[in-house]
Copies of this chain bind each other. A is one copy, B any other.
Amino acid sequence: MAERVTIGDLAQRLGLSKASVSYALNGRPGVSAETRARVLALARELQWYPSSSARTLSGARTGVVGLVLSRDPDLLGTEPYYMLVLSGIESALIEAEYGLLLRMVGTEPGRDLAVYERWAGERRVDGVMLFDQRRDDPRIPLVRHLGLPAVLNGAAEPGAALPAVVPDEHGDADRVVEHLRDLGHRRIVHLAGPSGLLHEQRRDQLVRAAADRTGIVVETVEGDYTMGTAERLTTERLQHGPGPTAWVASNDVMALGVVRAAARAGMDVPGRMSVVSWDDSLLCEIGAPPITALDRHPRDFGRRCAQALLAVIAGTPDEDTGPRPSELRVRASTGPAPA
């Protein structure tokens, strides 16, 4: 059982005041270089670590940022996307010696709000990362009221008045639509995620805008990110008779559902219909056929999100480098539009 070494112990051993030791440890002026060296050497030798609670209590930062995930845990398990974003977040935090407090609250509305309130009240975190933004998202006024530094990730609500990190939404939509246009598709279905999510609305708008420019007609169908629902919706649409020759699904799992429904309906992919996924993953690679997908560099995105929040916390101007352009991984699920 390691004995706790305090700043007082160091001061006593060195014949200094606690203040001097503190200044030395924190690299602040007020001590000679020699004293500083002695302090640092002893601190290392005795394996001194600052008590995070004592530090925070006397006004310092907590060194922790918070993330509340309010998606269905089962969905989180199937979509690799979030795990990759998480790992990107971690990579940026580690460099800044920051920790991540993670909370998965499920989808019951409002449960996430209670967490932010508590974190702010308890002074647990220096800031929070907000994902999956909704229109008139209650989290935005809440964090402002709480004085909790925050960054919006994934979609910028106009006038949200919070810093935001956004993917290359325009480029993504263009890449997908242009690929289908080049293959001769003139009618496509956009199988979107829940329309309550702002980035789904944006995406749909941008897909439509890109399609308009090239004379492509878009039907939008609202899914819920699960394979089962995607399969059912696709089946229903196919029963309405043909029309669209290509499907764009908002995540990899739904894209698989589309492919399944096509198989069940006897529609060859890509012979009679093409399928594109908005997220790439191993699921897309091993699909039968493998699915053309947009690699949006989720880890890179996670990094940017964390960096933006750290910048807000530090009070430094945001140095967001901007999105790294996504890459469309063309696979066997897309082909020329049937004549």
Contact = CB atoms under 8 A, between A and B. Distances in A.
Number of identical protomers? 2
A103 B283 CA distance: 26
Contacts of A124: 52, 99
A90 interface: yes
A209 interface: no
B118 A49 contact: yes
Given A94-B105, A100-B102, A53 B50 contact: no
Interface size class of A (residues with CB under 8 A): 35 or more
Interface stretch (A72-80, A192-200, A314-322): A72-80
A287 interface: yes
B48 A53 contact: no
Contacts of A83: 73, 76-77, 82-83
20 contacts: A2-B146, A47-B117, A48-B121, A49-B120, A51-B57, A51-B122, A51-B123, A52-B122, A53-B53, A53-B57, A73-B87, A76-B87, A77-B298, A78-B80, A90-B103, A94-B105, A99-B101, A100-B103, A253-B282, A282-B283
Interface of A: 1-2, 4, 47-57, 62, 64, 73, 76-78, 80, 82-84, 86-87, 90-91, 94, 99-105, 117-118, 120-124, 145-147, 227, 253, 256, 260, 281-283, 286-288, 298-299
